[in-house]
Structure 1
Amino acid sequence: MLSRIGTLASYFDNEKRTVMYSPTWKGTSITNPTDSIEEMLNQIKDLTSTFNDTYNILLKVHPFVYSKVADDERFAPYLVPDSVDANEIMSIVDVLITDYSSIFFDFVNTGKLILFFVPDAKEYKSTRGLYLKQSEMPGPVLNNFAALKRALANLKFVQKKYSAKYKRFSEKYGSLANGMATKEIVDFVFKSVPMKNVVSRKLNSDKRKVVIYPGSLAANGITSSYMNLMGNLDFKKYDVTQIATYDKKSGKRNGMSLPDGVRQMFRIGSPLLTLDEAVIDEYYKVIGLDENNVNNYPIEAYERDAQRLLPNMKFADSIDFSGYSYYWGRLMVSIKAPNKIAYLHNDIWEDAHRKIENIYLHKANVEPMIKLYRLFDKLVSVSPELKKINESKVIQFAGNAKFTSVQNSIDPDTIRYVSWKRRLKPNFPTKDIIKQRIPAFNKKMDNFISMGRLSPEKNQLFLVRVFSKYVETVNENARLYILGDGPLKSVILEEIEKLQMTKHIFLMGHINNPHHFMSKMDTFVLPSLYEGQPMVLLEALTLGMKVLSSDIPQNAFVLNYGQYGELADGTNVNDFLRGIDKINAAKLNQYDKFDPYKYNQEALREFELVLGD
């Protein structure tokens, strides 16, 4: 082994035991690790100075960091060459010091001591996450350098204290390690040689196999609809594979809330394209697919990339449930499946060309996606009314794809349970979206609530102006709570201030599980200019609320054309003002009762028809 470590061998003393420090890279980008080289050097020097009579001190840095220290002569007495495999150098190591690196999973099989030096644990956990809880680690978790030195000076005590935990960890994660793991895996995969103590599972051939891209599982209506659908789906009939990349804020939390029947897979690495294919791919991202360039579309390259992510997996249905990404659209349409489906959650043409401050929000992604429609078999809008709108606007891009509709699923039990549970321990927000304190909730006031992304199509600016007039001319004891966040936050706050409505209109931001808050209000209001199928209306109806919405086809459909609530012109201040006055004076029993369970059964039936026909 010493012959492999180059000039480092000249510093090595065979009579001493060997300690190796092997930290992972720090930061959030592999191209720009943020490891402190000077701090690392000073710590290694300190350890060498303190334990020079007892240990050889080695440093094995992560490959992403190696180039930063390789030519620094100050590291020569400690640095293990990057060409030396970690498993090789570990054969001469007696004590491993590491942090969050997975290297300790291999080292634990040696039975030798591991010290976890994690002075930045809180920061690292928040940005990169951890494999395990600190309480599960097979050695002491040390939060400062002084504690690390004390542990090294008292290894016999450390070994005795952690021996039981070390043994449990080794049995859990290293029980199959026998020095032949790679050979056994290769033989199993390529030669069908059985492996002892290993259970393999194949896709259930009796179920209908569905692969679905849900979006990033960010906190939005599409995610709510998807999670409700998965919660209602019969996994005895369907084998579901989800492929996605998570939204940083909410993706992991939502992913962990999905049923166990959803097999979660992730996009990793870069698309498997040649240089020429990558250039062509960029062309189609910008220009989009049309009848004049369809013959040059690099479908084989995209199919190869799909095989990279889902090797040798075949499906009955490939569903782009998000519908807002060209990359994911071209991936889902390239998966081996006879039934390829794209969802249209909104007036997709309008959404593609929506601007805020003269900037297109979705055009670069959505317009090329629209031009992919000709490669799908079905284009699914989330309400019959939306289907009519989308078919009229994008039919020229659809080719032979069939326009159809599937209503969004809801989760009435969770909506009602959260509302009921929170009644036992009310927890009303006390601050608004900019952390300013708001007046305590007063049930004696006439309380209205609206919820949605703060963007032009949701029309909250219009609602603020209408409500201001309502307070001034009709009801000074009225309050409006607006839930949500988005690009118009500052503009809406300025309008509330300008109209002197800060004691009547409150911008609350995003609230997890808002249903209890909603249920305490008198009326739900939705002034949208356009929608897909508004989940918030369905949730408000499930809670048994009085509802007022703008009279657009999608909202009118959900409200059964006025049978479940009031409709008003979302572009006419006086008409919407009359609507607020009317709904406020109305009794709840004036409207038909919405049955969320019957609704859900119909929504699931529509989904299964789209898969089955």
Structure 2
Amino acid sequence: MKKQKVIKILHGFLHRYKPIDSRLRRIRGYQLLSKFGRKIYHNAVIRLSSSQRFYLENFDEIGVKKNVILFESHWGKNISCHPFAIYQALIGHQKAEDFSIIWVVNNPESVPAEISCRKNVKLIARDTIDYAKALLKAEYLVNNLTFPDYFIRKPSQFYVNTWHGIPIKTLGLDTNDRLFSFANGQRNFIQATHIPLAGEYAKKTTVDSYGAKNLNSHKVCKIGSPRIDTTLNTSRKSVLKRLGINYNKKVVLFAPTWRGRIGKPSMDFGFAIKALDHLSISLSDEYHVLVSLHGLVKEKLKGSLKGGFNFVPDEMDINEILAGVDILISDYSSITLDFFALNRPIILYVPDRSHYESERGLYIELEELPAKVVNELPELSNAIHNAVKPSEFPSYTAAVGKFIPNEDGKSSERLLSILFGSSQNLPVKESTKKKILVHPGGLLANGISNSFVNLVENIDHSKYEMTFIVDAKATDSSIIRKEYFVRLAEKCQVILLYPGIGLTFDEAKAYSKFTSKETNPSCYDEELINAAFRKEARRVFSDNSFDIAIYFSGYTFYWAQLFAHLDTNKRVIYQHCDMYAEASNSNPNRSLPQLNAVFSSYKHYETFVSVSDSVRIENERKLKSFYPSKYSTVTIENSISPSDIKRKSEIPLSLVSIQCATIINTTDHLKFVVVGRLSPEKNHKRLFRAFSILIKEEKKKAILFVVGDGPLREILKSEVRQLGIAEYVVFTGRLANPYPLVKACDCMVLASDYEGQGLVLLEALTLGVPCIGTNVPGIKCVLKDGIGILTETTANSFADAMITFANTPKKKPVIGFSAENYVASTLDSFYRYVCDEKISNDVVFDT
């Protein structure tokens, strides 16, 4: 834990320091200091992660060994759950003696003697060199949680991911938890070759809830729950004997689930203390109470209980103990569903039910279960004294059929038959849909994100299975990103990147050369990068393949390389603007020199998509030397969603911005609006100077609404003050829904130096709002054929266009633009050039 905290502190500091470091590296003397600091950081992280370092350095050197099987349960905390049940079945299997068995267990003293004394069993601790070796060489790996983020299943390895219970509480994407908290869980499902589960309900609430439905559903084995084998195949008397409990006692197990968030269990277990104190008073000597709590909570409560209760011993599996239990008191724990297999009384004590349901969420209405639901303490002891078997509830048969339909004590045997049978791989489920993988970028509040969301809204999902992948940690960091994510996840499969590419020392040096402006990578460096990203693609996607892979943003070296090395039939990369201009922009607020590293990955792509013809021509002219020998460059314009734009524009402006609504309703001034990031390429200063000419020299009554945010916010506010037009310019900040304001204005203006394609212009035209824009690539492709007014890239020219518009007695409606036909055209291009579909009918345009 100390090592992880050090790494976290280092990462946090460097993340905040990175922009400063980038600027200072322009100073020659500082470059050497920065390089030295980076080397120290890299070496420190390597030393702090010795098991990861060993794993990566020896990934290709240590081969997989036949008949080596590794078991891990709860990150090595104990020997229990499904892995323990599968181990027991293996010991009884005819091939048992042929296997070398490795158990991951951090405390060897808690291991039962019958396991530790076996000659073919080896005990190792997690996060050690031995652990890394075992991950590399084991032919079979069995885990009920997750292997580390650096683990990569080799093609000849078989990974059985059992999960650790049949959920009652929501998991994964069904929760409000951070995406990062379960990203590695999803990744482990993707890595797995076999996922044994109780049935369809268990699949929907684990694999599906983690977003792996279409990625690994064909690996699911609905054979029953192995750990319930332990419960069914263990005698009550043997359990009581081991626990030292009188056979004539009625054994009550109090086992509430943990509270809190993943990685941060709540220490507030006051309700548990009260319940146990109540039981100590209300239960007679004929009952023996066992207690099972989260490890951290257990340590806290040991000295807080009045009664002489026994905690379940660490060396015993909870499913073994269930075999000796007469009455179970639980709540939202998965062992509740396990216990149904014994048909013994269950009491659900849920004093915090309403809070828990609203905070965490449940898949089940508790009344659906054949169990007594209790909310208050006085009811608890009464329920124990009048305990009723599940089979006496009307819902019993349906509950068993839904939650535990295959439990006969032989689930583990069925799994071993699949693993060791003639066909070790499950049949792959073929889909008739074309599989498309997309990385949309950082899901920032910009045109790229909006364009991708609109594409997802418009595409034919009956023909295309679209999967998008995002950095889980980055998405968690912003409400805006999370909003985009939720919209996309409603219609697409999602892969959550667990960030942190694993690099060897040499690979890390090569990576630094590619992403550094000061150094030039060699052919050997390129070989190292290719090897690193082949591993990374397998770490992220395992053996999943896609028909088409689209890097939709096109701005980051990591993603460009990742998509270059995954298993796909076609690689597509988007160019949303003049990419060379972006890379060589002299303004430090916009300069993106890392694009040079992206350009070096172009050789791996077949199709280059620009969002306008003029941008396509510029990109091909300037970047052709980076393209492969065979390539195609195509134009696919940004997609819009007319129905969404129009629907959102109908929302009262007062609900979007009271300030803007008040100004709109109380003035008859001409109203201009500009929407976009406050960054250099938008050249708001040119717009402000033009607007000042309109106001001060032409004496026109006008208001300019500036919608957006960005690094130049304070500089631009200072500019309007210096021009003396501050009272006529309204900075609204970013508006989640700018359409009511755009619709209420008379004209959209855009004075950019360059654009990919003016998406905000398309949105304004959809609402019937006239537009003025500079005659640059990305704008002139929208405001063509008289649809809008184009000006030269000077303040005076832009002012002339605004003056002409202001002097027009009656504003002309937008002519020649049909939003619906525009969408049809963009989809036609996407299907034709990206999906390689033959489009039989050409789109007819209104003029």
Q: CA deviation at 1:486?
A: 2.9
Q: Deviations over 1:475-509 (max 9, x none)?
A: 56422222223333444455556666565332233
Q: CA deviation at 1:463?
A: 3.1
Aligned position for 2:431: 204
Q: Deviations over 1:339-378 (max 9, x none)?
A: 211112233344346688x5677555x4432321122222
Q: CA deviation at 1:400?
A: 3.3
Residue identity matched to 1:544 = G
Tell me, yes or no, if the aligned pair for 1:447 and 1:479 is still in contact at 8 Å.
yes
Q: Aligned in 2, Cα 1:336/1:12: closer, same or farther, shift over 3 Å? A: farther
Q: Aligned in 2, Cα 1:267/1:85: closer, same or farther, shift over 3 Å? A: farther
Aligned position for 1:231: 457
Return 5+ residue gaps in structure 2 as ranges.
1-79, 81-109, 113-238, 838-847
Q: Does 1:17 align with 2:252?
A: yes
Aligned position for 1:527: 751
Pick the aligned partner of 1:388 from 598, 617, 620.
617
Q: Does 1:267 align with 2:503?
A: no
Give me the whole-angstrom Cα distance separating, in 2, the residues matched to 1:443 and 1:166: 69
> Secondary structure at 1:21's aligned position in 2?
coil
Pick the aligned partner of 1:583 from 782, 794, 805.
805
Aligned position for 1:479: 703
> Secondary structure at 2:261's aligned position in 1?
coil
Tell me, yes or no, if the aligned pair for 2:656 and 2:737 is still in contact at 8 Å.
no
Q: Does 1:449 align with 2:698?
A: no
Tell me, yes or no, if the aligned pair for 1:458 and 1:527 is still in contact at 8 Å.
yes
Q: Deviations over 1:106-144 (max 9, x none)?
A: 56767723345659959995xxx65659899969999xx
Q: Does 1:339 align with 2:600?
A: no
> Secondary structure at 2:280's aligned position in 1?
coil
Q: Does 1:504 align with 2:728?
A: yes
Give me the whole-angstrom Cα distance separating, in 1, the residues matched to 2:559 and 2:633: 21
Q: Does 1:329 align with 2:553?
A: no
> Secondary structure at 1:600's aligned position in 2?
helix
Pick the aligned partner of 2:790 from 543, 567, 572.
567
Pick the aligned partner of 1:460 from 684, 690, 701.
684
Give me the whole-angstrom Cα distance separating, in 2, the residues matched to 1:492 and 1:390: 30
Give me the whole-angstrom Cα distance separating, in 2, the residues matched to 1:45 and 1:298: 56
> Secondary structure at 1:517's aligned position in 2?
helix
Give me the whole-angstrom Cα distance separating, in 2, the residues matched to 1:589 and 1:509: 29
Map 1:212-223; keep pairs closer than 5 Å: 212-223=438-449
Tell me, yes or no, if the aligned pair for 2:612 and 2:778 is still in contact at 8 Å.
yes
Aligned position for 2:291: 58
Give me the whole-angstrom Cα distance separating, in 1, the residues matched to 2:245 and 2:712: 63
Q: Deviations over 1:175-221 (max 9, x none)?
A: 55665556656766886999xxxx9982325x544322223444432
Q: Aligned in 2, Cα 1:212/1:36: closer, same or farther, shift over 3 Å? A: closer
Pick the aligned partner of 1:314 from 542, 545, 551.
545
Aligned position for 1:402: 631
Return 5+ residue gaps in structure 1 as ranges.
none
Pick the aligned partner of 1:543 from 759, 767, 777.
767
Aligned position for 1:376: 605
Q: CA deviation at 1:398?
A: 3.1
> Secondary structure at 1:404's aligned position in 2?
strand
Q: CA deviation at 1:69?
A: 7.1
Q: CA deviation at 1:171?
A: 5.7
Give me the whole-angstrom Cα distance separating, in 2, the residues matched to 1:583 and 1:166: 75
Residue identity matched to 1:49 = D
| Bigger Cα displacement from structure 2, 163-172 vs 261-270 | 163-172
Q: Deviations over 1:321-348 (max 9, x none)?
A: 1222322222211112232111122333
Pick the aligned partner of 1:242 from 445, 468, 492.
468
> Secondary structure at 2:745's aligned position in 1?
coil
> Secondary structure at 1:335's aligned position in 2?
coil
Q: CA deviation at 1:591?
A: 6.2
Aligned position for 1:303: 534
Q: CA deviation at 1:602?
A: 3.0
Q: Aligned in 2, Cα 1:23/1:544: closer, same or farther, shift over 3 Å? A: same
> Secondary structure at 2:636's aligned position in 1?
coil
Residue identity matched to 1:241 = T
Q: CA deviation at 1:430?
A: 3.4
Q: Aligned in 2, Cα 1:201/1:491: closer, same or farther, shift over 3 Å? A: farther
Q: Deviations over 1:53-101 (max 9, x none)?
A: 437362432xxxx5797699748977656665554455566445567x7
What root-mean-square deviation, in Å, do the aligned CA atoms of Structure 1 and Structure 2 show?
A: 4.9
Give me the whole-angstrom Cα distance separating, in 2, the residues matched to 1:352 and 1:11: 74
Tell me, yes or no, if the aligned pair for 1:314 and 1:337 is still in contact at 8 Å.
yes
Give me the whole-angstrom Cα distance separating, in 1, the residues matched to 2:556 and 2:296: 36
> Secondary structure at 2:828's aligned position in 1?
helix
Give me the whole-angstrom Cα distance separating, in 2, the residues matched to 1:57 and 1:312: 45
Residue identity matched to 1:574 = N
> Secondary structure at 2:735's aligned position in 1?
coil
Give me the whole-angstrom Cα distance separating, in 2, the residues matched to 1:22 and 1:48: 15
Q: Aligned in 2, Cα 1:574/1:510: closer, same or farther, shift over 3 Å? A: same
Give me the whole-angstrom Cα distance separating, in 1, the residues matched to 2:591 and 2:324: 57
Q: Does 1:114 align with 2:348?
A: yes
Residue identity matched to 2:547 = A
Map 1:510-521; keep pairs closer than 5 Å: 510-521=734-745
Pick the aligned partner of 1:593 from 794, 802, 816.
816
Give me the whole-angstrom Cα distance separating, in 2, the residues matched to 1:182 and 1:428: 58
Q: CA deviation at 1:522?
A: 0.8
> Secondary structure at 1:441's aligned position in 2?
helix
Q: CA deviation at 1:569?
A: 3.9
Q: CA deviation at 1:226?
A: 1.6
Q: Aligned in 2, Cα 1:369/1:18: closer, same or farther, shift over 3 Å? A: same
Tell me, yes or no, if the aligned pair for 2:367 and 2:373 is still in contact at 8 Å.
no
Give me the whole-angstrom Cα distance separating, in 1, the residues matched to 2:612 and 2:427: 41
Q: CA deviation at 1:276?
A: 5.3
What is the percentage of aligned positions where both structures have the same residue?
A: 22
Residue identity matched to 2:280 = N
